[in-house]
Amino acid sequence: MQMTFKQKVYACFIKIIEEKIFLLQKVMADLNESAANETKSTAGDKHETALAMLQIEQANIAMQLQQAKNKKASLQKINPLLSASVILNGSLIKTDKGYLFISTALGKATVDGNIVTALSAQSPLGAKLMGLKINAIAEINNTKYVIESVE
């Protein structure tokens, strides 16, 4: 069965977030290993500083990992087979400026040669687009986005 462009976009962003989670988990495992090695060492102040730095880094990575998992969870709530005539969470929008995928903030990806930007409904542009239909115009920072299609 042939995937629709929207299904390909959805699959692409799921893959991006899963890769990010995998990399963050790997960094966390490496940090845990470093911390385990550091606790075996007893070099005084230098040891305490190194351990404190590792703990700060672990906390930062843990926070990034949780944010990535939250983004994946919100992405998974989207059914890429659903389509609506108005823009809502999960809509793939073609504008005169390119494709926008209302989901979660994940930046840009190239799908079938088209650049697609994943943005959240809470972002300034996402909020302006919500509820609009084909041929409507959303304006932000003096830039107009003409909606050519919604799926």
- pLDDT 10s digits, 118-127: 999 999 999 9
Q: H-type helices in the chain, by residue range?
A: 5-40, 45-76, 124-129
What per-residue confidence (pLDDT) applies to 40?
A: 66
Between strands 98-103 and 114-120, the pairing is parallel
Report if residue 83 sits inside a domain: no
pLDDT surpassing 80 at residue 38: no
Domain encompassing residue 105: 92-150
Q: Residue range 68-72: average pLDDT?
A: 97
What per-residue confidence (pLDDT) applies to 51?
A: 82
| Pair (64, 111) in one structural domain | no
| Token digits of residue 12 | 């692409």
Q: Confirm if 134 and 147 have CB atoms less than 8 A apart.
A: yes
What per-residue confidence (pLDDT) applies to 66?
A: 97
Query: Cα(116)–Cα(93) distance, rounded to whole angstroms?
Result: 9
Choose the weakest-confidence range: 47-56, 80-89, 126-135: 47-56
The secondary structure element, H or E, covering residue 7 is: helix 5-40
What per-residue confidence (pLDDT) applies to 52?
A: 86
What per-residue confidence (pLDDT) applies to 42?
A: 59
pLDDT surpassing 90 at residue 39: no
The helix, strand and coil proportions of the chain, stated in percent and rounded to the nearest 5, come to: 50, 25, 30
Report if residue 81 sits inside a domain: no
Report if residue 135 sits inside a domain: yes
Q: Residue range 90-109: average pLDDT?
A: 96
Q: Residue range 62-84: average pLDDT?
A: 95
Give the end of a domain, one of 19, 42, 76: 76
What per-residue confidence (pLDDT) applies to 41?
A: 61
| Token digits of residue 1 | 């069965």
What per-residue confidence (pLDDT) applies to 36?
A: 81
Choose the weakest-confidence range: 1-5, 50-54, 131-135: 50-54
| Pair (71, 27) in one structural domain | yes
